[in-house]
Amino acid sequence: MNKVINLCVVGFGNAGQAFAKMLIQEHGNLSILTGYDVRITAIATNSKGCLLNKDGLNLNKVIESVEKYGDFQALSSDKISTIDLIKSSGAHVMIELSALSIDDGQPAISYIETAFSLDMHVITANKGPIAWCYRKLQNIANRKELKFLYETTVMDGTPIFNLVKYSLPGTKVLSFKGILNSTTNFIIEEMELGNTYEAAIKEAQRRGFAEADPSLDVDGWDAAAKTAALANVLMNGSLTPMTVDREGIKNLTPHDVKEALNAGKKIKLLCEGYIENGDVIGKVRPVLLDEKDIFSRVDATSSILSVTTNLMGEVIVVEKNPEIQQTAYGVYSDLITLLKL
Amino acid sequence: MNKVINLCVVGFGNAGQAFAKMLIQEHGNLSILTGYDVRITAIATNSKGCLLNKDGLNLNKVIESVEKYGDFQALSSDKISTIDLIKSSGAHVMIELSALSIDDGQPAISYIETAFSLDMHVITANKGPIAWCYRKLQNIANRKELKFLYETTVMDGTPIFNLVKYSLPGTKVLSFKGILNSTTNFIIEEMELGNTYEAAIKEAQRRGFAEADPSLDVDGWDAAAKTAALANVLMNGSLTPMTVDREGIKNLTPHDVKEALNAGKKIKLLCEGYIENGDVIGKVRPVLLDEKDIFSRVDATSSILSVTTNLMGEVIVVEKNPEIQQTAYGVYSDLITLLKL
């Protein structure tokens, strides 16, 4: 008889729904792999309602309701705040999938603090808390011997944090560089094809990966948040998105992009972390890359990260054109890591 | 007071010496990280002599002797067979770094079997045993609850096997493809620059990464051994280098390479593993790659591996221009994994 693990899921947008579907599909495998019977007992959302059933929610019915009505109206939904639902969930693990607030990482940070105060382990896919508040949250987790995992916050389920932690043991990360924002990468590519900046943004919005307000991407805030998260976790930095030296792509013109192309080069928005005078520095800015450089071949929605370590030199990881399933897998892989290691 | 772990090292060429240097340098860190005081108590070689000291060899003196004389003559060396040294070493872990025999994986396989029979954990950097005999060796290790690690056998210390095992948990590998042989990659590049096949081989030999007899590389045997190792471990295959569908680069001419280049393409020796009619298939052959393909940008001594999984799609890892230190780190990282997990 397997032990039971109850999850409280905060946020149930595309990522949450994809994660729930993966849990349904992989329930048997997960049980064999970890020895746990994993159930979702609580789901908190702002717009769809809240669900709580300590015997485990029927995930098929939850998804059916969301797909049919856009919310939980087909189920007995509670009117309760997210914090109160976390408190009354009695779950072992909180899965934090709420929307990113780039300004301060809230309310996700307070959700995570609440979960820790209730002795719940936490998995988050939200880069806000890692970019704004990593050290403090990790310290709480360490003190309470709770697990805190966040693989999905950079490059979805592609192993970055877990790669360094579990597969590059004993190394010290000296620097990193990456192309980590799809929208800007796509816009620059569209300009290479002769389209205007405005048309490129419209096309990115139409395809669903740029927000209605694209400034989070084009001003480099998303890239800065990822840079801060990587610097804080991998290099023990104390950055926030605000302290990353940030330049977006707003000043780039189709002329710049074409001129680069004619010179055999490509412009990419590069995220970097390195040490200068003993301090961990984060930088985001458009750079010219030679077309021989593997970084210049990272297309539209793909990402690349190079990590340079003291003992192992440079290791590069690439994620190719991820879909929402890759986000769901990041959370799912953290769940396995949490239950197994 | 830390517990002591004794290592028996088989083979003490460049990789063994680099590993010993890393152990000297990282001894304190390793102790903090794992709680173990790690010592080398035995070293077996064919040409340098054998060393045994159950209180731990003085590694600085060992390296000094090898660097000065090319062997262990400055130390009290034993005339004893490798098998007998493994048996009398009383070590907890065998580090197997003997030379590759592509024909049968011996004598490395018998060394590993001997170590397991003595209840020693095993780390190997030798792809022969994994390509020829993985299933049998892993089954012995499982039955005896011993650890068997081999990260270094493909792409040196770049996490491949440990990446999939520890950082892509719960996934099933559906296929892989990689550029994994430096010598052939270099030779093709030299032909792109207008040099002949023969001149390219000479230059690779001069730089030290092609053997005096280059057939192991140019006939695709090294690539086939890596393909078999990956297929056996990642996809539960039952391949040997002999059963990999193998074509080397001997029939390539500078004309072929130039013609490809003029068409905006590159020729690379590709290793592939996939499932066909329920069987795991391995294939090695030169292919035409579009210059937009990230695989076409893997230069000379760098390597690339793409792994496609059921839950996470495609994850790509690149190793940039490794040196012998990257081989040493592969062994060192396996040692940490063995002691920690």
Q: Which H/E stretch holds residue B179? A: strand B173-179
Residue type, A271: C
Average pLDDT over residues B253-271: 94
Average pLDDT over residues B11-40: 96
Q: How far apart are CA B24 and CA B37, in angstroms?
A: 12
Closest by alpha carbon to B131, among B210, B10, B233? B233
The yes-or-no verdict on residue B1 having pLDDT over 60 is no
B336 contacts chain A (CB < 8 A):
yes
Catalytic residue among B48, B127, B226, B265: B226
Q: What is the pLDDT of residues B79-131, one digit of tens each?
A: 889 999 999 999 999 999 998 888 889 999 999 999 999 999 999 999 999 99
3-state secondary structure of A4: strand
The yes-or-no verdict on residue B269 having pLDDT over 60 is yes
Report cis status (omega within 30 of 0) of the bond before A322. no
Q: List the structure tokens of A139.
A: 């310290």
Distance from CA of B91 to the nearest CA of A (A): 23
> Looking at chain B, which residue has its C-alpha nearest residue A29?
B170
| pTM for the model | 0.95
Average pLDDT over residues A89-103: 92
Sequence-ordered list of residues with C-beta below 8 angstroms from that of B333, at least 6 positions apart, any chain: A167, A168, A169, A170, A171, A312, B151, B157, B159, B162
Q: Is A264 left (phi over 0), alpha (psi -120 to 50) or beta?
A: left
Q: How far apart are CA B300 and CA B279, in angstroms?
A: 32
CA distances, A66 to each of A14, A59, A291, B144 (Å): 10, 11, 45, 50
User: For position A299, what pLDDT does the model report?
Assistant: 86
Asked if A337's CB is within 8 angstroms of B169's CB, the reply is yes
Q: List the structure tokens of A219.
A: 């001003």
Distance from CA of B115 to the nearest CA of A (A): 25
Chain B residues in contact with A296 (beta carbon < 8 A)? 297
Sequence-ordered list of residues with C-beta below 8 angstroms from that of A55, at least 6 positions apart, any chain: A39, A41
| B residues 210-269 closer than 8 Å to A (CB) | none
Q: How far apart are CA A327 and CA B312, in angstroms?
A: 9
Q: Which of B22, B167, B319 sits opposite A311 (nearest CB)?
A: B22
Q: What is the pLDDT of residues A172-202, one digit of tens each?
A: 999 999 999 999 999 999 999 999 989 999 9
Q: What is the pLDDT of residues A303-339, one digit of tens each?
A: 999 999 999 999 999 999 899 999 999 999 999 999 9
| pLDDT band at residue B299 using 50, 70 and 90 as cut-offs | confident
Sequence-ordered list of residues with C-beta below 8 angstroms from that of B38, at least 6 positions apart, any chain: B4, B5, B7, B23, B27, B30, B31, B335, B339
Q: What is the pLDDT of residues A120-161, one digit of tens each?
A: 999 999 999 999 999 999 999 999 999 999 999 999 999 999
The yes-or-no verdict on residue B78 having pLDDT over 80 is no
Sequence-ordered list of residues with C-beta below 8 angstroms from that of B77, at least 6 positions apart, any chain: B48, B49, B50, B51, B71
Average pLDDT over residues B300-310: 95
Q: What is the pLDDT of residues A4-27, one digit of tens each?
A: 999 999 999 999 999 999 999 999
Q: How many CB atoms lie within 10 A of CB B241?
A: 26
Report cis status (omega within 30 of 0) of the bond before B169. no
Instruction: State the number of CA atoms in the 13 A half-sphere of A77 facing the CB.
Output: 20
User: For position B76, what pLDDT does the model report?
Assistant: 80
* Beta-ladder partners of A282: A273
Asked if A158's CB is within 8 angstroms of B163's CB, the reply is no
**Tokens 């849990």 sit on residue:** A23
Average pLDDT over residues B300-321: 95
Q: What is the pLDDT of residues A260-275, one digit of tens each?
A: 999 999 999 999 999 9
Backbone angles phi, psi at B93, to 5 degrees: -135, 135
The yes-or-no verdict on residue A211 having pLDDT over 80 is no
> Average pLDDT of chain A?
94
Q: List the structure tokens of A84.
A: 């109160």
The yes-or-no verdict on residue B137 having pLDDT over 80 is yes
Asked if A340's CB is within 8 angstroms of B341's CB, the reply is no
Beta strands per DSSP E along chain A? 3-10, 36-44, 50-52, 93-96, 121-124, 148-149, 173-179, 245-246, 265-276, 279-290, 303-309, 313-319
Catalytic residue among A48, A127, A226, A268: A226
User: For position B119, what pLDDT does the model report?
Assistant: 97
DSSP letter assigned to residue A153? G
Using DSSP bridges, classify how beta strands B148-149 and B121-124 pair: parallel, antiparallel or unpaired. parallel
The yes-or-no verdict on residue A1 having pLDDT over 60 is no
* Beta-ladder partners of A173: A309
B317 contacts chain A (CB < 8 A):
yes
Angle, helices A82-89 vs A108-117, to 10°: value is 20
Average pLDDT over residues B293-317: 94
Residue pair A218/A249 in contact by the 8 Å Cβ criterion: yes
What percent of chain B lies above the pLDDT cut of 90?
87
Asked if A312's CB is within 8 angstroms of B316's CB, the reply is no
Examine the residue annotation and report whether B165 is marked as an active-site residue of this protein: no
3-state secondary structure of A259: helix
Average pLDDT over residues A266-287: 97
DSSP letter assigned to residue A242? G
